[in-house]
């Protein structure tokens, strides 16, 4: 007698990348997605693979799949306990006296002990001794971070903010710079919207897609301190880059960034969030911040820097830790907040710029400038009070990780173990998009 081997490509969410924004849960038409205080998970018994949740997810963490035996998917309870996704393994079909029959209790995909590839499993065989080739950041906040509020406002019940200001940050319209990055202030009036530096919000742009569905929310990092863009006011700021058609000739994108960049003072904006419970700053006053960013990735760094500046004032917390910033842009005219950054006291923050398109100058990227400052970075890496934040375009991650690894190894701090220590202690954070 032989039993049919039924394999399920199980839909899973990567807990290391997910920012717990709730978009997928609200999008799923059959309520297959749920969450607890730790993770967002997909119930294999309910998911019908409609794929409605895939494109709205701002991080791509929703787009993960593992082959498992249909009779033994990862349960919701099990997924709640994960700190990372299990590796894709092969599905064991233990030999029995009944030739090709399947064991009643074969293991699930994952452990390297699995032996026989499942039908249609094109990643089978990579499971044994699989190496994590991507350096991931922490899935927990710094121990001293303030406790964040998340998901207070949802797609079904958003909060209405009022645009209190919209200023162009990158050279003015006649300055010959195409890149349009805006500093946008949103005010929440009398409604509660508590945030921390490093969190983000999402904006629901008005209108519909060509298919007649509401546009999905887009995520934006908060660029101000927890006590308001203007201290004591119930407002926050964003740093938004106007997205323009790519050279592929697209014509139907840039929905939310163009909407935000065109806001006038007094316009109303539908907001959800706040989101993010890990990319948060430490609160102990002697903690050091090593901040590395490009373009609008400067938004959370601005919020953290401003909060530290406010706490540094006599009688306001006496923060003494070091701040070191590496900030990359094409030219200084395209670097948001260039002027204000230049005017910060040198004994408060150590600012290092990298410009990749300054006429007549060699192309310089953040990792090049970091290399030049390797002695100081190595000293910061040695200090258990140092917290690292990387934010900006996806493409920057690899170069930054490489240079951190080189500096660590060359200063006698083996990167493999240092990375693990930083990650486990909530001291290494990435937010790239
Ligand atoms: C955690 C997180 C934080 C983020 N923080 C920020 C932030 O602080 N600041 C920020 O600016 N962004 C931030 N983003 C990115 C932001 O969420 C949006 O993805 C971005 O603003 C683009 O959204 P959009 O609606 O304008 O573009 P979409 O409508 O989503 O279009 C995307 C693509 O369509 C193409 N396109 C096609 N036609 C056109 C057209 N006519 N005009 C323009 N583009 C076109 C473009 O190539 C574009 O890349 C963040 C993302 C994440 C995940
Ligand atoms: S694929 Fe469809 S059914 Fe499955 S979780 Fe996503 S939205 Fe829900
Ligand atoms: S980032 Fe948001 S949409 Fe994506 S999986 Fe996580 S909660 Fe869902």
The ligand with the least distance to the CA atom of 19 is: 3
Nearest CA to ligand 2 atom 8: 28
Q: Which residues contact 77 (CB under 8 A, 6 or more apart)?
A: none
115 and 69 part of one domain: yes
The answer to the question of residue 149 being in a domain is no
Q: What's the CATH code of the domain at 312?
A: 3.40.50.80
309 and 348 part of one domain: yes
CA 290 to centroid of chain Cα atoms: 17
What residues are paired with 390 via a beta bridge? 292, 430
The answer to the question of residue 152 being in a domain is no
Q: Which residues contact 5 (CB under 8 A, 6 or more apart)?
A: 69, 91, 93, 102, 118, 119
Beta-carbon count within 10 A of 50 CB: 12
For the entire predicted model, the pTM comes to 0.83
CA 55 to centroid of chain Cα atoms: 16
79 and 215 part of one domain: no
Taking each helix axis from N to C terminus, what angle separates 415-424 and 396-410, rounded to the nearest 10 degrees?
A: 120
Q: What is the tally of structural domains in the chain?
A: 3
298 and 406 part of one domain: yes
* Cα–Cα distance measured from residue 406 to residue 45, given in angstroms and rounded to the nearest whole number: 46
Closest CA to 176 of 298, 302, 330: 330
User: Which of 74, 220, 259, 337 does the annotation list as catalytic?
Assistant: 220
**Domain range enclosing 354:** 288-432
pLDDT by position in tens, the chain (length 433):
445 678 999 999 998 878 788 889 988 999 999 998 788 999 999 999 999 999 888 778 899 999 999 999 999 999 999 988 999 876 655 444 333 333 322 334 332 222 222 323 332 223 222 233 345 788 889 999 999 998 899 888 999 999 999 999 987 665 566 789 999 999 999 999 999 999 999 999 999 888 887 888 899 999 999 999 999 899 999 999 999 887 667 777 899 999 999 999 999 999 999 998 899 999 999 999 999 999 999 999 999 999 999 998 776 667 889 999 999 999 988 899 988 999 999 999 999 999 999 989 999 999 999 999 999 999 999 999 999 999 998 888 899 999 999 999 999 999 999 999 999 999 999 998 8
Half-sphere exposure of 136 (CA within 13 A, CB side): 18
Beta-carbon count within 10 A of 132 CB: 9
298 and 383 part of one domain: yes
Q: What's the CATH code of the domain at 100?
A: 3.30.70.20
3 and 84 part of one domain: yes
With a Cβ cut-off of 6 Å, ligand 1 is lined by 19, 58-59, 200, 218-221, 239-241, 243-246, 250-258, 296, 299, 431, 433
Q: What's the CATH code of the domain at 173?
A: 2.40.30.10
292 and 267 part of one domain: no
176 and 292 part of one domain: no
User: Which of 221, 224, 237, 257 does the annotation list as catalytic?
Assistant: 221
Q: Is the CB of 49 under 6 A from ligand 2?
A: yes
Beta-carbon count within 10 A of 12 CB: 23
- Tell me the chain's radius of gyration from C-alpha atoms: 24
User: Which of 80, 149, 233, 433 does the annotation list as catalytic?
Assistant: 433
186 and 54 part of one domain: no
């Amino acid at each position: 007698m032989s039993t049919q081997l039924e394999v399920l490509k199980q839909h899973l969410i990567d807990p290391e990348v997910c920012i717990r924004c709730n978009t997928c849960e609200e999008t799923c038409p059959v309520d297959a997605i749920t969450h607890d205080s730790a993770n967002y998970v997909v119930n294999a018994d309910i998911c019908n693979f409609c794929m409605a949740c895939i494109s709205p997810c701002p991080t791509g963490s929703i787009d993960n799949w593992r082959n498992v035996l249909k009779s033994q998917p990862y349960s919701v309870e099990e997924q709640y306990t994960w700190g990372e996704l299990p590796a894709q393994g092969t599905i064991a079909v233990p030999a029995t006296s009944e030739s090709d029959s399947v064991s009643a209790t074969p293991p699930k995909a994952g452990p390297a002990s699995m032996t026989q590839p499942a039908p249609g499993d094109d990643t089978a065989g990579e499971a044994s001794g699989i190496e994590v080739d991507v350096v991931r950041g922490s899935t927990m906040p710094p121990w001293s971070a303030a406790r964040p509020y998340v998901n207070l406002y949802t797609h079904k019940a958003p909060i209405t903010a009022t645009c209190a200001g919209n200023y162009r940050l990158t050279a003015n319209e006649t300055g010959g710079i195409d890149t349009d990055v805006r500093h946008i202030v949103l005010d929440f009036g009398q409604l509660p919207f508590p945030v921390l530096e490093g969190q983000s919000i999402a904006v629901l742009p008005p209108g519909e897609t060509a298919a007649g569905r509401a546009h999905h929310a887009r995520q934006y990092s908060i660029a101000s301190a927890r006590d308001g863009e203007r201290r004591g006011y119930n407002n926050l700021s964003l740093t938004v880059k106007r997205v323009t058609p790519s050279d592929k000739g697209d014509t139907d994108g840039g929905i939310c960034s163009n909407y935000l960049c065109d806001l006038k003072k007094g316009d109303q904006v539908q907001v959800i969030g706040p989101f993010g419970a890990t990319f948060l700053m430490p609160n102990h006053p002697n903690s050091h911040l090593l901040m590395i960013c490009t373009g609008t990735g400067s938004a959370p760094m601005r919020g953290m820097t401003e909060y530290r500046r406010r706490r540094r004032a006599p009688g306001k917390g006496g923060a003494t830790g070091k701040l070191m910033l590496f900030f990359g842009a094409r030219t200084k005219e395209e670097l948001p907040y260039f002027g204000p950054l230049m005017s910060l006291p040198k004994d408060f923050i150590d600012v290092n710029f990298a410009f990749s398109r300054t006429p007549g100058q060699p192309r310089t990227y953040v990792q090049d400038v970091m290399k030049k400052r390797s002695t100081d970075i190595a000293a910061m890496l040695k200090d258990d009070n140092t917290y690292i934040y990387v934010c900006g375009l996806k493409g920057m991650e690899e170069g930054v990780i490489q240079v951190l690894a080189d500096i660590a190894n060359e200063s006698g701090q083996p990167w493999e173990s240092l990375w693990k220590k930083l990650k486990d202690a909530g001291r290494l954070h990435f937010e790239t998009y």
